[in-house]
Structure 1
Amino acid sequence: MYRLVKPLFFKFDPENVHYFVVKRLKWFNDIFPLGKTIIRGSFDVNIKGLEREVFGIKFKNPVGLAAGFDKNGEYVEPLSNLGFGFIEVGTVTPMPQPGNDKPRMFRLPNDEALINRMGFNNKGVDVMAERLRMVKDKHPDIVVGGNIGKNKTTPNGEALYDYLICFKKLFDVVDYFVVNVSSPNTPGLRELQEKEPLKNILNALQTENHSNALPKPILLKIAPDLTNSQLDDIIEIVAETKIAGIIATNTTISREDLLSDEKEIAEAGGLSGKPVKSRSTEVIKYLAEKSNRAFPIIGVGGIHSAADAKEKMAAGASLVQLYTGFIYEGPGLIKRICKALV
């Protein structure tokens, strides 16, 4: 079915198509009497042996949806009904912000890739917290991750306060947190990946985290463009701050070996999809081997097939996430991966 409608979708602006599709999915799930049953019957994964327990959380299967797809926590239930084992929402910031000027998302079909420069467009953490509270009241079994960031206007020297605000307001409605300092689309954000500012943010979050009776896992999402020396620093930071794990990787600023034309390649933003697959896997393998698998890794980047997901896990990932592959391959990809992992 998806192969039939995909050429039509790809004729229109990718951001507009995204919202058209997810809104129709939500309507079908919420309004149409048999919608939820039809979605689950078609896509939900009911395969024994897929359960995973990672950083103290039980996942019904190891295939999740990466952050960026549902920035405001509006579509958690219908997306979960497609078979995802967990849904990561955000990136969310303390205050609402419109993001960068449109157009800001671009397809590269020849490379099976996307370039985006969304810029953390979201409705703010208060809106997300309220929506997730309603989701969790109805569906406490859906595993939800909260991907948190800073507002564009917040100076880097004050960034940790933005992360703390988001952390506190989402604490009761998410199962784990992801600290996003690796998006290339907020000016200066990646500077926070440097050792000292990153430790300051993570230590402040851990202090707040352990003031609660039941602390939540905190993960760090890193860029694929880090050098081995910087990855060594990441391993050291995880050990020092005692965060739960790493998500590897975010989008890349690299444009090497692309097949698309120069005009498409020249668009500013983060590149995702097949071109980032190899580097993402390299980062996972490096972190796993150099740390002696001291912490869990969620693998994301260029997963367009079951073989791609298995490659990530063989490299050291405990779980995987989809985004661009989900757009190019459709929702059937989730079940194909799960079947291959049994």
Structure 2
Amino acid sequence: MYRLLFSLVFSHMDPEDAHHLAFRVIRMLPALGFGRLVERFTAPDRSLEVQALGLRFPSPFGVAAGFDKDAFVVRGLGQLGFGHVEVGTITANAQPGNERPRLFRLVRDRALVNRMGFNNGGADAAVGRLSRLARRTRRPVLGVNIGKSRATPVEEAIADYERSARVLSPYADYLVVNVSSPNTPGLRGLQELDALAPLLEAVRAQAGATPLLVKIAPDLADDEIVRICELATRLGLDGIIATNTTVSREGLAAPASVIEAIGAGGLSGAPLAGRSLDVLRIVRAHVPAGLCVISVGGVETAVDVQDRLDHGATLVQGYSAFIYRGPLWARQVNRGLARIRRSREATGEAARVPT
């Protein structure tokens, strides 16, 4: 049914307009009291619970940052079956982001290109919503992803991140330092160790007891990833999220003229799957077993999610496939994961050991 709706309606709409329409529908679930009824149909099986970051996740599968930038639909997403929702990226200062159009579909590739530019209402505006969410017991685990304000010079980035962490960390179940979006000038340069180490140390001091993770780009060289893993371990970070979007356009089915017309931005979705899995393997091999590793990039089915878990991911996130799979996507993934686990238990098959 959703495929037909996407083909006849959503695919002909501006992608950002279609996102806002879906956003309003999801926001209505708890507002109109439908969420409790929906949960009976979408709630993850108890067998999928995961203990990580000192928290209980109802499912290993969650929503990546970017879908809910300002924490408006966390409850609705949880009622659709997602075990955690990472909101943001939130910046210290409110900002409109880049000019539209800034979100593009590559339907043949089941991919998206975005150059949103961290459009959000700012840290202060998010506090009220986050504080109300933090007090609720019936909600998914809440992650908060923070980034550098566009107007802030790179040399003042630490103070910018510190302010966001100080304001938002009291209401986050976990906090993420985003230094890997390609859509904010100078941001990815903060992944260089000389810049990253003092930044993470400063944010950790502001975050207090809130678990702290860093999100990295898939376009880093393998040796750079290893060095960030060593840094995260040395600093005592709680986790790494791998990966953000890519600037690569290799291997796409879309015509070169279409890709050129779209222009700059981060590519997400199915084409990112291979590199995202490669980065997961590298990270898992170079961090302690207890460190939380969240894998994101090119995940669409329960088999995809289970494969990431088999390769050492603690949790898995998705976003782009939501556009192509529709509102029952989390339910499909969770039910598929439960079937895979029941089948393995019945046959005595163990999870694959990460290599």
Q: What's the counterpart of residue 13 of structure 2? A: 12
Distance 2:15 2:267 in 1: 14
Deviation at 1:77, TM superposition (A): 0.9
Change in 2 beyond 3 A, CA 1:260/1:295? same
Q: What's the counterpart of residue 36 of structure 1? A: 35
Question: 1:14 is aligned with what amino acid?
Answer: P
- Asked if 1:302 is matched to 2:301, the reply is no
User: Among 206, 212, 219, which residue is 2:213 paired with?
Assistant: 219
User: Among 232, 246, 250, which residue is 1:256 paired with?
Assistant: 250
- SS of 1:334's partner is helix
Deviation at 1:29, TM superposition (A): 3.2
Q: What's the counterpart of residue 3 of structure 1? A: 3
Q: What's the counterpart of residue 342 of structure 2? A: none
- Asked if 1:333 is matched to 2:329, the reply is yes
Deviates more, 1:193-202 or 1:21-30: 21-30
Deviates more, 1:143-152 or 1:49-58: 49-58
Q: What's the counterpart of residue 47 of structure 2? A: 49
Q: What's the counterpart of residue 167 of structure 1? A: 165
User: Among 75, 78, 85, which residue is 1:77 paired with?
Assistant: 75
- Asked if 1:273 is matched to 2:272, the reply is no
Q: Deviations over 1:161-188 (max 9, x none)?
A: 1111111111221100010000000011
User: Among 61, 66, 71, which residue is 1:68 paired with?
Assistant: 66
Residue pair 1:104, 1:116 contacting (<8 A) in 2 also? yes
Residue pair 2:60, 2:314 contacting (<8 A) in 1 also? yes
Distance 2:240 2:133 in 1: 26
Residue pair 1:29, 1:39 contacting (<8 A) in 2 also? no
| Equivalence map 1:33-182=2 (5 Å) | 33=33, 35-45=34-44, 47-139=45-137, 141-182=139-180
Deviation at 1:40, TM superposition (A): 1.8
Residue pair 1:252, 1:271 contacting (<8 A) in 2 also? yes
Question: 1:12 is aligned with what amino acid?
Answer: M
Distance 1:313 1:257 in 2: 25
Q: What's the counterpart of residue 283 of structure 2? A: 287
Question: 2:331 is aligned with what amino acid?
Answer: K
- SS of 2:47's partner is coil
Deviation at 1:291, TM superposition (A): 3.1
- Asked if 1:21 is matched to 2:18, the reply is no
Residue pair 1:44, 1:81 contacting (<8 A) in 2 also? yes
Deviation at 1:339, TM superposition (A): 2.7
Q: What's the counterpart of residue 183 of structure 2? A: 185
Gaps of 5+ in 1: none
Q: Deviations over 1:50-78 (max 9, x none)?
A: 11111211111111100000000111111
- SS of 2:177's partner is strand
Residue pair 1:74, 1:131 contacting (<8 A) in 2 also? yes
Residue pair 1:287, 1:293 contacting (<8 A) in 2 also? no
Distance 1:323 1:141 in 2: 19
Question: 2:335 is aligned with what amino acid?
Answer: K
Distance 1:62 1:340 in 2: 12
Q: Deviations over 1:7-41 (max 9, x none)?
A: 2111100101101111122124312x5x2233223
Query: What is the aligned-residue RMSD (CA, Å)?
Result: 1.5
Q: Deviations over 1:104-125 (max 9, x none)?
A: 0000001000000000000011
Change in 2 beyond 3 A, CA 1:318/1:28? closer
Runs of 4+ in structure 1 deviating by more than 4 angstroms, as ranges, are none
Residue pair 2:238, 2:291 contacting (<8 A) in 1 also? yes
- SS of 1:272's partner is strand
- SS of 1:106's partner is strand
Q: What's the counterpart of residue 228 of structure 2? A: 234
Could you tell me the percent identity over the aligned residues?
42
Residue pair 1:273, 1:301 contacting (<8 A) in 2 also? yes
Residue pair 1:92, 1:149 contacting (<8 A) in 2 also? yes
Q: Deviations over 1:122-179 (max 9, x none)?
A: 0011111111112223346531000001111111111011111111111221100010
Q: TM-score, normalised by structure 2?
A: 0.91
Q: Deviations over 1:263-291 (max 9, x none)?
A: 33222100000000010000001111233
Distance 1:53 1:138 in 2: 19
Deviation at 1:43, TM superposition (A): 2.5
Q: TM-score, normalised by structure 1?
A: 0.94
- SS of 1:233's partner is helix
Deviation at 1:238, TM superposition (A): 0.7
Residue pair 2:82, 2:140 contacting (<8 A) in 1 also? no
- SS of 1:92's partner is strand
Residue pair 1:277, 1:303 contacting (<8 A) in 2 also? yes
Question: 1:332 is aligned with what amino acid?
Answer: L
Gaps of 5+ in 2: 339-355
- SS of 1:184's partner is coil
Question: 1:319 is aligned with what amino acid?
Answer: L
User: Among 307, 311, 317, which residue is 2:313 paired with?
Assistant: 317
